[in-house]
Amino acid sequence: MRRGRRIAVDVGDARIGVASCDPDGVLATPVETVPGRDAPAAQRRLAAIVEEYEPIEVVVGLPRSLNGGEGPAAAKVRTFVRELALRIAPVPIRLVDERMSTVTAAQGLRASGVSSKKGRSVVDQAAAVVILQSALETERVSGRPPGEGVEAVT
């Protein structure tokens, strides 16, 4: 397991959830929810978070369908991530499968007594936590970085 903090991002149309982990990669915690409607503003905020946290990498959830295919949502995330990679280089970005992360996060929030109305503001952060915990576990088990790398191409 590589040592170093990671940032996880759950990209949505309206909101972008952000989470981070400790330098040992043990525990993922929520950071904030970034408004997602204005992509350039969202990317500037994410770049500022990356600068502040100094992660070894950024893990971004890639929404796949249940059969593993990629649809329009995945294409949007890939476009968003290519632009983000240019802003935060040389910090690498890795795309990881995020199937069911938002559902898992919403169920966890409901189980802990968070109302659905209040939960909307934090479900994206919770989904980013789920994405990051999954990526950390994948690396811990396999010994390899999770998902696929994204190149910062100009």
Query: pLDDT of 23-60, one tens digit each?
Result: 999 999 999 999 989 999 999 999 999 999 999 999 99
Residue 123 is predicted with a pLDDT of 81
E strands of 1-117, at which residues? 6-11, 15-21, 28-35, 57-62, 93-97
The answer as to whether 150 is a domain residue is no
- For the chain, the domain total comes to 1
Structure token pair of residue 56: 């070894």
Residue type, 48: A
Would you say the pTM of this structure is higher than 0.85?
yes
Domain limits for position 71 = 6-145
Angle between helices 39-53 and 72-88 (to 10 degrees): 50
Q: What is the CATH number of the domain that holds 97?
A: 3.30.420.140
The answer as to whether 71 is a domain residue is yes
The answer as to whether 87 is a domain residue is yes
Residue 102 is predicted with a pLDDT of 59
Residue 107: pLDDT above 90? no
The answer as to whether 152 is a domain residue is no
Banded pLDDT at 13 (limits 50, 70, 90): confident
| Sign for the pseudo-dihedral over CA of 70, 101, 116, 42 | negative
